[in-house]
Amino acid sequence: MISPELLRRYPFFGIFSDSHLKELAMVSEEISAEPNSILFKKGDPAQALYVLVEGEVDLIDYLTSEVDPTYCKEFLAGEMEPGSVLAISALVEPYKLTATAKITQKSRLIAIDGKELKRLADEDITLGYSLMRQVAKVAIERMVNSRTLLAALLSQEKEQKC
């Protein structure tokens, strides 16, 4: 359990009532992670929603090939800074992680139990709606950032071909 005041510091939780913050704090804990450790792996069940309190985390994805099963290329999908919310898949079916989170600096995070989070959302539709609203906001922000990065990469590729 953590203090509801710790959650209140982060914009993701800005729309939640005091009672909802207390409920979320009851199913949360603060954890530490060392550099070069893996917080979670792509494809694993999403067991918690995380908020980065301090440090840095890289989101890593992998490109594989159906033609060559030995081919695997790792690439950076995002750099998370304090205040970032990670593993939103804990609230979105099929509840599987879509990237690997690698700790790049000693970090502190809030881990909110995924099963308990879903239970709370199911029991209180106002809390559930607020959670999904914030998750959608994070997902859209990441999609926009990905599109911008993709456009920049494609632009560089075209410039190099000239």
The full set of domain ranges for the chain reads: 4-161
**pLDDT tens per residue across all 162 residues of the chain:** 999 999 999 999 999 999 999 999 999 999 999 999 999 999 999 999 999 999 999 999 988 888 988 888 888 888 999 999 999 999 999 999 999 999 999 999 999 999 999 999 999 999 999 999 999 999 999 888 888 877 887 887 665 554
pLDDT at 161: 54
Collapsing DSSP states into helix, strand and coil, what is residue 47? coil
The sign one gets for the Cα dihedral 116, 119, 125, 128 is positive
Distance CA 78, CA 18 (A): 31
CA nearest 9: which of 79, 117, 116, 82?
Answer: 82
For the beta carbon of residue 89, count every other beta carbon within 10 angstroms. 23
Question: Are 49 and 87 in contact, with CB atoms under 8 Å apart?
Answer: yes
Q: What is the pTM of this model?
A: 0.87
**CATH superfamily of domain region 4-161:** Jelly Rolls (2.60.120.10)
Q: What's residue 74's pLDDT? A: 86
pLDDT of residue 4: 96
Burial class (CB in 10 A: 0-12, 13-18, 19+), 58: middle
DSSP H or E stretch at residue 83? none
pLDDT at position 162: 47
